[in-house]
Amino acid sequence: MTDATAPITQDVLTLPRKLPEGGRINLVGLTRDQLREALIAAGTPERQAKMRVGQIWQWVYHWGVRDFAAMTNLAKDYRALLADRFEIAVPEVVTRQISADGTRKYLLRIAGGHEVETVYIPEDGRGTLCISSQVGCTLTCSFCHTGTQRLVRNLTAGEIVGQVMVARDDLGEWPEPGQGSTGDRLVSNIVLMGMGEPLYNFDAVRDAMRVVMDGEGIALGRRRITLSTSGVVPEIARCAEEIGCQLAVSFHATTDEVRDRLVPINKRWNIETLLAALRDYPRLSNSERITFEYVMLKDVNDSDADARRLVRLIAGIPAKINLIPFNEWPGAPYRRSDWDRIEAFADIVYKAGYASPIRTPRGEDIMAACGQLKSATERARKARPRTGDEPRPGA
């Protein structure tokens, strides 16, 4: 079973902004203020700095340009100076898998040789990008594949924004010069539901989302961004105030006894404490409903009594309940609830007045579904026979 005693602490393993290659600073992920400071430090006159930030920002985040030489509204010498001191770097795509249902999973390599996964889920001409906030996770939810991997490090803001930029590159979504926007966006929504607990990497996630929301760049509104947390109670109010995005919470159980087993952070902040924080969220963030994620595990949390307890617990909170059929992974200690059980559960929740969509599993053939993400290096390491083991046939 799972190690429920794993540390529930905030790791501060974020990399310095300066990257080794030529000592150039990566501009991706800097906030406007940070960019301004960096430009001034590189010799930009202070009175010009704000305007230069605006120009560079537009090239990088509106047009998707990666080469300073293409920034034609800047003087040639200044472009050369920028190229000397800065870079516009996004994670490297190691592999891209496309599922039979169109879901795309990217394995990305980041500084230090680490790998994270990002998933694009298309739907009727729009699409949701599921991004990661950490390599691995400090938490050990017993049904989650990422939870079996140790935390390696937090992602930087640049690596979080970079995932969005990589997806837009692959989908060819940057606007062509001279062409207006068509209004349809391929990456129309972002969910922080990949690897990691976003509220344990708060500052980088906040800065990255501010870059993504900025109206002169990628310009995805705060209502199009959903942050999913396992329930890091002290950070929930900050999320409302400093990001203001939509909130999803990995609820998954209706008694502390079961939630302690499924989502061990519950031992630190139990259901009652969590619900109190959630009650305040809509007011603090001026946002709409909270999404309660509920993974359907056969004979564990899927009874009619659970459904009824759930609606009693959340009474008074503007909510929608997202039922997630458990996505099985090799060695998982649970099974997916039967379909008629999931529907019966959904029905009780629906009749109590809550939207209760059942999340259609997407990208299962490429292990891209919710909770299955885990770095490929980690999988390979686990699968590799130890020294002295007989090599497995075909391995």
Binding site residues, ligand SF4, CB under 6 A? 137, 139-141, 144, 146-147, 196-197, 230, 250
Among 30, 164, 166, 193, binds ligand SAH (CB under 6 A): 193
For 213, counting Cβ atoms within 10 Å of its Cβ (0-12 exposed, 13-18 middle, 19+ buried), the class is buried
Residue carrying the six token digits 């301004």: 36
Among residues 144, 208, 253, 319, the one that binds ligand SAH under rule CB under 6 A: 144
Name residue, tokens 């959630």: 278
Tokens 């209760």 locate to 356
Local structure of 325: helix, strand or coil: strand
CA dist 345 and 307 (Å) reads 6
Contacts of residue 283, Cβ cutoff 8 Å, sequence gap at least 6 = none
Catalytic residue (one of 130, 239, 245, 370): 370
Q: If contact means CB under 5 to 8 A according to the sort of partner, which of ligand SAH, ligand SF4, none does residue 103 touch? A: none
d(CA 65, CA 253): 46
Q: Which of these, 368, 304, 295, 287, lies nearest to 333 by C-alpha position?
A: 295
Instruction: Find residue 190's DSSP bridge partners.
Output: 129, 225
159 catalytically annotated = no
Kindly tell me which residue out of 117, 235, 293, 306 binds ligand SAH, with binding defined by CB under 6 A.
293
Three-class SS of residue 58? Answer: helix
When the beta carbons of 145 and 362 are compared against ligand SAH, the nearer one is 145
228 lines the binding site for ligand SAH (CB under 6 A):
yes
CB under 6 A: which stretch of 95-103, 153-161, 206-214, 222-230 binds ligand SAH? Answer: 222-230
Q: Find the shortest distance in angstroms from Cβ 328 to ligand SAH.
A: 7
Let me know if 370 is a catalytic residue. yes
Least distance (Å) from ligand SF4 to the CB of residue 302?
18
Region from 36-44, 281-289, 320-328, 385-393 binding ligand SAH, contact rule CB under 6 A: 320-328
Catalytic residue among 115, 117, 159, 293: 117
- Mark out the alpha helices in 86-216 (DSSP H runs): 157-171, 202-213
| Residue 373, both tokens | 């993400």
Catalytic residues: 117, 370
Question: Which chain residues interact with ligand SAH by CB under 6 A?
Answer: 141, 143-145, 193, 197, 228-230, 250, 293, 295, 324, 326-327, 370-372
